[in-house]
Amino acid sequence: MRTFIAIELPEEIRTILGGIQDELKQAQADVKWVKPENIHLTLKFLGEIEQGKVLKIQVILEEIAGKNASFNLYLSNLGAFPKPQYPRVIWIGTTNDQQVSEIVKDLEKQMAMIGLPTESRPFSTHITLGRVRSGLNRKALVEKLEFINKSLSSPQPEFKVSSLTFFKSTLTPKGQIYEAVFRCPLKI
């Protein structure tokens, strides 16, 4: 089972992000866009795991969620990995994300204890909007990213994080299907 742990986004935030994607699409670059209903904030990609580990992961997630209070995140600027001039992944960041970083540290430590690999790259709180497939119209895409960043409203939209979700990801010819297997509520 291919899995990951994430923060689900409220519908109104996914709608805002879908609107940003629509603006970026005007560049006509070769980008595989994340469907708005699938947009989330990944905390830990687990990959293929055995069914027998699911219960252990659930216990860990419940423990981590139980010691963290719900909190608000704010959308921030658009960005790209590895760098804005040569985008491979287009994302939007968040602010007020110290608690996210602490949760991820705890997740990494706990998942390693049940034999799951740790992430070698430092964690960066971001919400993936799309993956660039080729250099087609890259310059127009970079210009659109810069333009949108300059025109983003202040204050940025905020949303409440109230649970951690364990997802199953199924690859299909029409794209990925994400299914929430279980949610662990944060303290109120």
Catalogue the active-site residues: 40, 126
Contact 100, 73 (CB under 8 A): yes
Contact 19, 129 (CB under 8 A): no
**What is the token pair recorded at 109?**
């430590």
Report the length, in residues, of the chain. 188
User: Quick one: CA dihedral 60, 62, 66, 72, positive or negative?
Assistant: positive
Q: Calculate the CA 128 to chain-centre distance.
A: 5
DSSP 10-59: -HHHHHHHHHHHHHHHTT---EEEPPGGG-EEEEEEEEE--GGGHHHHHH
Q: Could you check whether the bond before residue 155 is cis, i.e. omega within 30 degrees of 0? A: yes
